[in-house]
C-alpha cells in the first residue's frame, strides 16, 4: 500500500518510512519525496533531506525531484543550489556547465537578438510615437559596503538608458530557477519580461591578457585567470572585465554573459559616502580549466569587506593627518599670536619711550628758553644800573650830556623788570 501524503507531511515522517519502505529506493522514492514536501520545510530539514539522499545514492532523476521539492517548499533557487552543492547532492562543475550551456544557447546572441537591438536602438520614426514592442528591465548591481551584501536593482524602461557614461552596450541577464528537470534559466524581469545590464567595451585593453594557469592555495583543481575586478575611475564602485570570450558570470540568482574580450560591467555602492581606495588595484578571478563560468557572489562579498577595511584605514589616516595639521596650525597660530602680542608690546614700549624722550626734550628746551630770557633780563637790568650809577658819580656840569640833562629835566623813570 502506498502511504498517503498526510502521513508524510514532514521530514520526521519521511524518516519513519525508512523502516518499511527504504527511502529513495525503487518506486517509493517519488512518493516519499512528494510526501516530504507536503508541508513547508525549513532549511535545516531540506539540508537533512539532501544528506539523506546522498547517503542513499539517489539517481540523477530523483535528485532533480528533491531539488524541485525544496524549491516548492519556499526556498530560493540559489539557496537550493548552494545547499545541493554543499551537501554533495549536485556537482558544482556539472551545474555550472549546464548553466553555461544555457547561457550560450539563449543569451549570447549579441548581433542576432532583435528584441535587445530594438530596445537599444529604437527606430527614429517611432521614438516620439510609440514604445518598443518588448521593453526590458534594466538591472543594476549594487552593494552595501557596510554590510558587505550584493543585491540587484531593476526598473522597467521603454528604451535603453546607459547606467553610466560609456556603458552603452546592453547584455541580457537571466534568473536561476529550479523545476522538475533541475536547474534552468528564465527571463529575469517581472512577469516573464526580459532584463539586461549595461556593459562597456574597454578600449584601453589591448591584446590578450596574460593568463595565470595553475593550482591555487587550498585547491586541488586546475584553475586559470579569466577576468579581473578593477576600481572605477572615480572610486564610486568596481568593474568586472573579461579576459576570455563567452564568460558566464553568476551573482546570486542572476546570470549574464560577457560575450567578448574586455567587455565590462560595473557594480556601485548604496552608501554615497563610501569610496574605493586608490590603493586597491585589481582582484583576479579564476575559473575551472575548460569551463568559462564563474560564480563571484562570495568573491565580491569578501572583496567588499576588504575594501571597507581599506576605506576605514584610509579615513583613520586622514583623521590623524587632519589632527596633526590642526595641531600644527594651532601651534603656528599660537606662536603668531604670541609674536604679534610681543610686537605690539614692544611698539607700545617704544612709543612710550619716544613720548617720554619728546616730553623731556620739550621740557629741557622750555627750561633753556626761560633761562636765556632770565639771563637777558638780568643783563639788561645790570646795564641800566651801571648807566644810572655812572651818571650820579660824575659832575653834572662837566660830564652829563645834554641828552641826560633833558632826561632828568623830563622826570625820566627807570623801566621796571616787567617792562623789560
Give the domain range for residue 78: 11-90
- Are 168 and 225 part of one and the same domain? yes
Average pLDDT, the chain: 77
Alpha helices in 1-89 (DSSP H): 11-17, 28-36, 43-56, 60-72, 77-87
The residue from 285, 305, 325 where one domain ends is 305
pLDDT band at residue 116, thresholds of 50, 70 and 90?
confident
- Are 43 and 150 part of one and the same domain? no
Query: Which is more confident, 185 or 304?
Result: 304
Strand 149-157 to 182-187 pairing: unpaired
Q: Report CA-CA distances (Å) from 340 to 325, 330, 345, 352.
A: 22, 15, 8, 18
The residue from 279, 305, 331 where one domain ends is 305
pLDDT band at residue 392, thresholds of 50, 70 and 90?
low
Say if 189 falls within a structural domain: yes
Say if 404 falls within a structural domain: no
Percent of the chain residues topping a pLDDT of 70:
75
Query: For residue range 159-175, what is the model confidence (pLDDT) as tens digits?
Result: 888 888 888 888 999 99
pLDDT band at residue 252, thresholds of 50, 70 and 90?
very high
- Are 46 and 112 part of one and the same domain? no
- Are 86 and 112 part of one and the same domain? no
- Are 121 and 189 part of one and the same domain? yes
- Are 183 and 284 part of one and the same domain? yes
Pseudo-torsion of CA 114, 117, 118, 123, nearest 10°? Answer: -120
pLDDT at 183 over 60: yes
Query: For residue range 43-57, what is the model confidence (pLDDT) as tens digits?
Result: 777 778 788 888 777
Say if 289 falls within a structural domain: yes
pTM of model > 0.85:
no
pLDDT at 10 over 50: no
Say if 415 falls within a structural domain: no
* Residue 22 pLDDT: 38
pLDDT at 15 over 70: no
Q: Report CA-CA distances (Å) from 44 to 34, 86, 182, 234.
A: 18, 13, 21, 44
Say if 331 falls within a structural domain: no
* Residue 301 pLDDT: 94
Percent of the chain residues topping a pLDDT of 90:
22
The residue from 275, 305, 335 where one domain ends is 305
- Tally of structural domains, the chain: 2
Query: For residue range 54-69, what is the model confidence (pLDDT) as tens digits?
Result: 877 777 777 777 787 7
Q: What is the mean pLDDT of residues 140-145?
A: 93
Query: For residue range 65-110, what is the model confidence (pLDDT) as tens digits?
Result: 778 778 777 778 888 888 888 888 888 888 888 888 888 887 655 4
**β-bridge partners, 225:** 286
Query: Which is more confident, 10 or 144?
Result: 144
CB 130 within 8 A of CB 117: no
Amino acid at each position: 500500500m502506498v502511504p498517503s501524503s498526510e502521513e508524510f507531511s514532514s521530514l520526521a515522517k519521511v524518516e519513519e518510512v525508512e523502516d518499511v519502505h527504504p527511502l529513495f529506493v525503487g518506486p517509493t522514492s517519488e512518493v516519499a519525496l512528494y510526501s516530504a514536501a507536503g508541508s513547508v520545510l525549513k532549511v535545516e530539514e531540506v539540508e537533512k533531506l539532501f544528506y539523506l539522499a546522498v547517503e542513499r545514492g539517489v539517481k540523477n532523476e530523483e535528485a532533480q525531484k528533491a531539488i524541485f521539492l525544496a524549491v516548492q517548499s519556499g526556498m530560493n533557487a540559489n539557496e537550493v543550489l548552494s545547499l545541493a552543492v554543499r551537501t554533495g547532492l549536485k556537482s558544482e562543475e556539472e551545474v555550472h556547465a549546464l548553466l553555461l550551456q544555457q547561457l550560450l544557447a539563449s543569451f549570447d546572441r549579441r548581433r542576432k537578438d532583435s528584441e535587445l537591438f530594438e530596445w537599444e536602438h529604437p527606430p527614429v520614426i517611432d521614438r516620439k510615437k510609440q514604445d518598443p514592442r518588448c521593453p526590458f528591465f534594466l538591472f543594476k548591481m549594487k552593494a552595501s559596503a557596510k554590510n558587505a551584501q550584493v543585491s540587484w536593482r531593476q526598473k522597467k524602461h521603454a528604451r535603453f538608458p546607459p547606467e553610466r557614461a560609456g556603458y552603452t552596450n546592453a547584455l541580457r541577464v537571466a534568473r536561476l530557477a529550479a523545476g522538475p528537470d533541475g536547474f534552468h534559466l528564465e527571463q529575469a524581469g517581472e512577469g516573464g519580461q526580459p532584463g539586461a545590464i549595461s556593459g562597456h567595451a574597454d578600449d584601453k585593453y589591448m591584446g590578450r591578457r596574460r593568463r595565470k594557469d595553475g593550482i591555487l592555495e587550498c585547491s586541488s583543481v586546475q584553475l586559470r585567470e579569466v577576468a579581473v575586478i578593477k576600481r572605477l575611475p572615480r572610486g564610486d564602485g568596481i568593474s568586472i572585465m573579461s579576459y576570455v570570450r563567452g564568460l558566464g558570470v553568476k551573482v546570486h540568482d542572476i546570470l549574464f554573459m560577457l560575450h567578448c574580450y574586455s567587455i565590462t560591467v560595473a557594480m556601485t555602492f548604496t552608501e554615497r559616502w563610501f569610496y574605493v581606495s586608490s590603493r586597491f588595484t585589481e582582484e583576479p578571478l579564476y575559473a575551472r580549466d575548460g569551463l568559462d563560468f564563474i560564480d563571484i557572489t562570495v568573491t565580491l562579498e569578501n572583496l567588499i569587506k576588504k575594501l571597507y577595511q581599506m576605506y576605514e584605514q584610509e579615513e583613520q589616516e586622514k583623521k590623524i593627518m587632519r589632527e596633526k595639521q590642526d595641531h600644527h596650525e594651532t601651534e603656528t597660530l599660537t606662536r603668531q599670536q604670541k609674536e604679534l602680542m610681543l610686537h605690539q608690546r614692544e611698539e607700545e614700549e617704544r612709543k612710550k619711550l619716544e613720548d617720554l624722550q619728546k616730553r623731556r626734550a620739550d621740557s629741557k628746551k622750555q627750561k633753556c628758553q626761560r633761562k636765556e630770557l632770565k639771563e637777558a633780563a638780568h643783563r639788561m637790568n645790570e646795564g641800566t644800573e651801571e648807566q644810572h650809577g655812572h651818571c650820579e658819580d660824575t659832575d653834572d656840569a662837566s660830564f652829563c650830556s645834554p641828552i641826560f640833562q633833558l632826561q632828568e629835566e623830563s622826570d625820566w623813570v627807570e623801566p621796571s623788570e616787567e617792562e623789560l
